[in-house]
Structure formats: structure tokens, C-alpha cells
Amino acid sequence: MKNKFLIIPGKFALEKVSGCDFLFPLQGFCVGIERTFSLENIPDSSYIYVNRLLDKKGIEDFRKLLPLFSKKVKGIVFEDLGILNILKENGIDVETCFYGTHGVCSSYTANSLLTDVDTVILSNDITKEEIENILEKVTKKVGLFLFGHLPYMYSRRTLLTNYSKHFSLENKKKRILKESVSKKEFFVVEDEFGTMFYDSCVFDGRVLLDKDVSYFVIDLHLENILNIKEFMEDFFALKAYPNTTDGFLYRKTIYRLPPKGGVK
Amino acid sequence: MIELLAPAGDLEKLKFALHYGADAVYVGGQNYSLRANAKNFSLEDLKEGVNYAHFLGKRVYVTVNIVFHEEDVFGLEEYLKELDKIGVDAIIVSDLYVVDLAHKLNLSLEVHLSTQASVLNAEAALFYKKRGVKRIVLAREANKSDIKSIKDETGLDLECFVHGAMCTSFSGRCVLSNVVTNRDANRGGCAQVCRFTFDTPEAPCFSMTSKDLNMIEFIEEMIQIGVNSFKVEGRMRGIYYIATVILTYRRLLDKILNHSLTSEEKEYYLKVLNRVANRESTPQFFHRFPSENEQYFLGREEISNQDFLGLVLDYNKDEKKVKIEQRNYFKIGDIVEFFGPNVETFSYKIHKIENDLGENIEVCNHPNMIVYLPMEIPLEKFDIMRVKLFDKDRDL
């Protein structure tokens, strides 16, 4: 396998899978992910994941972890560019991967970022054609989100708690919500750092497996997978997985509405 | 430098915003702006708007804040050069490529980082500062402590939203619109799915509509911790809203800066702002973490405001008549108010209305019809006639 796979763990035991590394969601620095890990509790030279946008306190807390980085961290996938600044200012040499979720939709943006980071994960709301086009033009290898529930919205608010309080309901931190008109379903997960909306279907991007990338991200944190080795065997054998979607791979979005009365 | 920054969806709104006290306006061009379906500005409009603003000693910022896809980059370089040539004072961008391109092209205009980049901490601000960003429009989620530390540690110009609609998500961190309606939120097509309702297995439907932002209570503190620019949201809003909100913040800021603001006046300003809004408003994240009280739970709860009665087009000082373009129904006997940038707000009882043929009429009920009212107090173009809001006249 020429590519590197980063697996965000689910509930399964963390058995080593050939060609893959775990991407450990860092405790206190992730939102909408139930299983997180402290730096002390992950193996040395691991990949860690920070998907929160950090406020002042978040940055202060992050700085406290820096003494452990040289031993514990091989690479970091992050959303907040403040992290990059801290790492550079402190001369910490780890693989840096910016994952802006919705912010890297062109080779131009990717290349701008790649002057400062080792790699970026492309946005998950672009088409396969766009991905292929970008891969041809980037100055360094970039990564792709390959499998898992696509994150669609990140709010700082505790939206599920607010809803429960308002209607005096049991305070659940996970709910399935269905948009009333389109009937589109979302998994919604909340914690103290905010609320994430995910697609209720699993994005299956294995059609992209032949691409030459830095990392493929496989996000299993919402899946009930019991054995990671068996899952990955089936995964690479391209066995079908239930309830999947191809996301935006073949679905181009629009942003200008046609004129009233239709296009002439 | 303390700046009041107003939205302007078109040239007319730009003029109103500047006349009503904005120090600067932000506008969108025909491309690359997050209000893709607004009227927006052609390059000709921009040229006129910039000349108009500069003549008044004010500034114009142009939003170039979409997340660029490969196909959107076509024409961007020429567009930025043209904006620079026109004399636009700054571009507001979120995509790092545009930051880099503006500097590669050695443009004179400033580069401001959009709230779409969701900067919440000083380290992220420093990252962008090193790339040449002059000012940062902070995430609306930034609280007082975040803002202060960003100012103290970076020295950057800071722009904060103080009034108007809020996204439920961090700006730029949402593609619900893309998923549900296929309209790309981060390229200006947002369908505001966060204002839709969602079914749950339990009875009441879920909704997450945020109430609006209103920082009137904390403007003084924001000045103290170093906020430079006070930004009002609303490029899609009408001239009445723009005029009312901008004039209110103008007078509030001026009174704060010359230490003459009373609590009574602040209360009055708050009432005026609440009246013109179509949703309730709160300070949201600045002083505490927002709870269920900062949201709506039954979908859209929006009120149509019909206070805007007419627009002053001209004043004839010889005949002592004011020429008005109607915006909402009014009639003989109504008690109304006039307000404007250069006139103290005053009440007025309508006792005579003339149409454009010089005939006396009882009611003014046709949209945009031209009428004349007898008027002793000289008024000016851009002044506004509205429903009398409150019993007590005040300086607004």
C-alpha cells in the first residue's frame, strides 16, 4: 500500500493494523467525538487529532501539553491554525496536517497552506472530479477523508442541552434529527465544547483508493465496529458496508439561484 | 481609531449608511462574495461608491470571502487589481489563497480576515498576521477574555460584529445548506437551514435558530479592551433598518467617547433597536456562554416591521413643504416621527397631504407614491418618516 491510513478509533480494541495508524482524538481538544485519549494514554509516536476551534483557555491548555510532544506525537491533524503557530514558535517538529473540514476546496488554497504545513486534508464537500483536478496541481501530497460520517456543522452552542432544557426533556448528548422538509437525517453529538452535526449515513469513498495521497482518514468513532482487523480486511476487499453515501463526490453544489421565471 | 462599520447591499444603502453615521461600509461585488443572490455591486457601482465614500472621508471594504473552488479562481487576479485601482480601502477575505495573492500582486489595499475564518485565539491571529493580514474580523463566538488576549498579544486591528443575525454554527464551519438544498453555504448560497425545523422521535420538533446579536450593553467594554471596528450585519437589509441601526450606534458611540451617555439614553437606544429588528436580540457570547435563552425553539419567529412610512426626497424652504416617497400606509390624523443624520428626532401630526397633482388627499396608500406635507422644520434628502415609536421624544 503506497498510502497511509489514519483511523479515528471507535469502541473496538486498538489492535495494530498493517499500513494504518490510529489518529487519536485528543482529550479536551475535540468536539463531537465520544472516545478521546489523553497524551499520557496513547503509544509513543502517535498521530493526534484536534478538531476544536480553540479559545484562549484552549490555547493555554494546549501549551501545557507541549513537553510531551517529542515523545508522544508523530503527527497532528488540526483545524485551528493557532496550533500551527504554537508548534512553530516552540520549534516542535512533528508532521502537521491541516484539516479545515470545509475550507480547502481548491489547489490554490491547498498550496497556500502547504507553504506552512506538511499536508492538508481536502474538504469533504467537493466532487470527485474536483479532487482529481486538485491532486494534479498541489505542490505536496494532500490527504482525503475516505470513510465515516461526514461532519456537516460545528456549533459552539450546546444545542441538544438547550433543546432538552427548553422542553424539559431528558438531556441526551446524542440524537438523530430529521430535517422536516427534505427528511434528511443527521447524527448530532454534543459535549462541553459544542455540537456537531454528522450525516446519518456513512461516507464510503473507497472509489478514491487509487489516488496518491498523504493520508486517507477513516473515521470510525460513530460506528459499532467490534474488531478493527476484520473490518479493515473487509474494507480493503471492498466488501459492501450498510447505509452508505457517496456524499458530494458526484453532486456539484450551486450558489447562485436561477433568475425568477427560470433561465432563458 | 474607533470605526462604525455598516453593511451596504447596494449603492443606495451605501449612501444611507454613510449619511447616517457609518465610518466605513462593507459591500459585495458581483462575484466572490458570500451574498451571491443579493443585488451587490458592479465595478461601476463600486467606483461610484468608493468615490462617494472618499469624498465624505469614509472607507469602503469589499468582501471576497467565499471558499474558492478551482473554477472560482478564474478572473480573481484581475478583479483584485481592479478593486485596488478603484481605490477600495480593504478586501475582507477568508481563503488563505486570496491573502497570499493580494500580497503577491503588491496591492495598496488592506487585507482583512473574514469572520468565516473563525479566529478565536491570539495564536491563530498571529498566523494570519505573519501572512500580512492587517485586521481580523473575530468569530462571533469570541468572548471578552478571548478578544482582550488577541488584542494584547497581536496588536492587530480587531473588528467585531455588534449587531444583527447570527449563524448557529461557527461561520464557515457549516454545509447543512449544501446537504439539504444543494446550495453552497461557503460560496454565498446559504439557505439558512439552521432556521429550519427538525423532527425527532420525541414530540416537540427541534430547532436551533439563534436570536440576533445586540451588543449595546457592552460597547463601552469593547472599546476598553481594544476593539477598533464595530460591525453591523445585514447586507440584505433595507434602508430603514440600516438608517435606524447605524444612527443609533453612531449616537451611542459618540456619547460613550465624549463620556456623556446616560443609562436612560442607553435604554432608549435599546428600545429603538429592538423595535426595528424582526427577531429578539441578545449579547450572545461576550459576557457568558449562551443558553437556551439565546435561541428560538419553534422555527422562525420573525416579525415584519412596517414602521417605515416614507423617505424624504426634498424640502422646499420657500413653500415649507417636504416631498416624500411613500413606503407604508399613512393618513390624515396620524402622529409620526421624522429622523435623520442632521435633525433631532421630532413628532409630527399629519394634518394635510398633497399628491403630486397638488390635490389634497386623505390617505397615502400606494407604494412609492409621491406626496407633499407642510413642514416648518427644514428636512434633507435621506431623512426618514416613521411611525411614532415611543411616547417620549429623545435625541434620535
Cα separation, B141 vs B144, in Å, equals 10
Helices assigned H by DSSP within B58-143: 76-86, 96-104, 122-130
CA distance B351 to B101: 61
Beta strands in chain A (DSSP E): 4-8, 20-25, 46-50, 73-78, 95-99, 119-121, 144-148, 151-155, 174-179, 185-191, 194-199, 202-204, 215-219, 244-245
How many helices (DSSP H) and strands (DSSP E) are in chain B?
A: 10, 22
Which residues are CB-contacts of B340 (< 8 A; sequence separation ≥ 6)?
B20, B243, B312, B379, B380, B382, B383, B384
The residue of A86, A88, A101, A105 whose CB has the most chain B CBs within 10 angstroms, and thus the best one to mutate to test that interface, is A105
Note the pLDDT of residue B395: 43
- Condensed to tens digits (0 to 9), the pLDDT of residues A155-196 reads 999 999 999 999 999 999 999 999 999 999 999 999 999 999
**What is the rounded distance in angstroms from the CA atom of residue B38 to the CA atom of residue B22?**
21
**pTM of the entire structure?**
0.94
Distance from CA of B199 to the nearest CA of A (A): 5
- In angstroms, the separation between the Cα of residue B288 and the nearest Cα of chain A is 12
- In chain B, where the domains are located: 3-294, 308-387
Q: With the C-alpha atoms ordered A122, A126, A127, A132, is the resulting torsion angle positive or negative? A: negative
Angle between helices B11-19 and B43-55 in degrees, nearest 10: 10
Domain B3-294 grouped into CATH 3.20.20.70: yes
**CA distance linking residue B285 with residue B289, whole number of Å:** 5
Contact across the interface for B189 and A254, Cβ inside 8 Å? yes
Percentage, residues of chain A above pLDDT 90: 94
Sheet holding A202-204, edge to edge: A119-121, A95-99, A73-78, A46-50, A20-25, A4-8, A215-219, A144-148, A202-204, A244-245
Interface of A with B in 140-169 (CB under 8 A): 152-157, 159, 161-163, 165-167, 169
Please say if the pLDDT value at position A264 is more than 50.
no
Quote the pLDDT of residue A234: 97
Read off the DSSP letter of residue A37. Answer: B
pLDDT digits (tens, 9 = 90+) for A5-53: 999 999 999 999 999 999 999 999 999 999 999 999 999 999 999 999 9
Grid cell locating B42: 458592479
The C-alpha cell that represents A96 in the structure block: 502537521
Question: Does the structure show a pLDDT above 80 at A102?
Answer: yes
Each residue of A222-244: pLDDT tens digit?
Answer: 999 999 999 999 999 999 999 99
Domain ranges of chain A: 4-149+202-245
Chain B CB contacts of A53 under 8 Å are 118, 120, 139, 141, 170, 173
Rounded to 5 degrees, what are φ and ψ at B388?
-65, 120
- A6 DSSP β-pair partners: A21, A217
- Say how far apart CA B379 and CA B382 lie, in whole Å: 9
pLDDT given at position B388: 86
Average pLDDT (A112-133) is 97
Query: Which positions in chain B touch A182 (Cβ < 8 Å)?
Result: 180-181
Instruction: Give me the residues of chain B with pLDDT under 70, please.
Output: 299-303, 391-396
Q: B202 and A102: CB-CB below 8 Å?
A: no
Per the DSSP assignment, residues forming a β-bridge with A122 are none
What is d(CA B344, CA B339) in angstroms, rounded to the nearest whole number? Answer: 6
Asked if pLDDT for residue A1 goes beyond 80, the answer is no
CB–CB of A155 and B197 under 8 A?
no
Kind and range of the H or E run holding A88: helix A81-89
Q: How far is A206 from chain B (nearest CA, A)?
A: 20
Helix (H) or strand (E) holding A159: helix A159-167
Question: What distance in Å separates the CA atoms of residue B284 and residue B213, rounded to the nearest whole number?
Answer: 6
Give the SS3 label for residue A50: strand
pLDDT of residue B302: 66
* Paired residues of B299 in beta bridges: none
Q: Would you place residue A2 in the very low, low, confident or very high pLDDT band (cuts 50, 70, 90)?
A: low
State the greatest distance between any 2 C-alpha atoms of chain A, in Å, as a whole number: 64
pLDDT tops 70 at residue A257: no
- With cut-offs at 50, 70 and 90, classify the pLDDT of residue A118: very high
Nearest Cβ partner for B70 among A80, A134, A251? A134
For chains A and B, CB pairs below 8 A equal 212
pLDDT for residue A3 is more than 80: no
Residues paired with B353 in a beta bridge: B361
Instruction: Read off φ and ψ for residue A193, nearest 5 degrees.
Output: -95, 0
- Cβ neighbours of A161 in B, within 8 Å: 292
Best of B64, B71, B73, B120 to mutate (most A CBs within 10 Å, chain A): B120
Q: Are strands B308-316 and B212-214 parallel, antiparallel or unpaired?
A: unpaired
Beta-carbon neighbour count of residue B206 at 10 Å? 23
Which residues of chain B make contact with A130, given a CB cutoff of 8 A?
Answer: 69-70
Tell whether the model's pLDDT for residue A260 goes beyond 70. Answer: no
pLDDT 10s digits, A44-82:
999 999 999 999 999 999 999 999 999 999 999 999 999
Rounded CA-CA distance A262/B245 in Å is 36
Indicate the pLDDT class of residue A120, thresholds 50, 70 and 90. very high
| Cα–Cα distance measured from residue A38 to residue A28, given in angstroms and rounded to the nearest whole number | 8
Q: What is the pLDDT of residue B278?
A: 81
Tell me what ipTM this predicted complex has. 0.95
How many whole angstroms separate alpha carbon B85 and alpha carbon B124? 31
* CATH code, residues A4-149+202-245: 3.20.20
Pull the grid cell for residue B64: 471576497
What is the fold of B308-387? Answer: Elongation Factor Tu (Ef-tu); domain 3 (2.40.30)
What's the longest Cα–Cα distance across chain B? Answer: 70
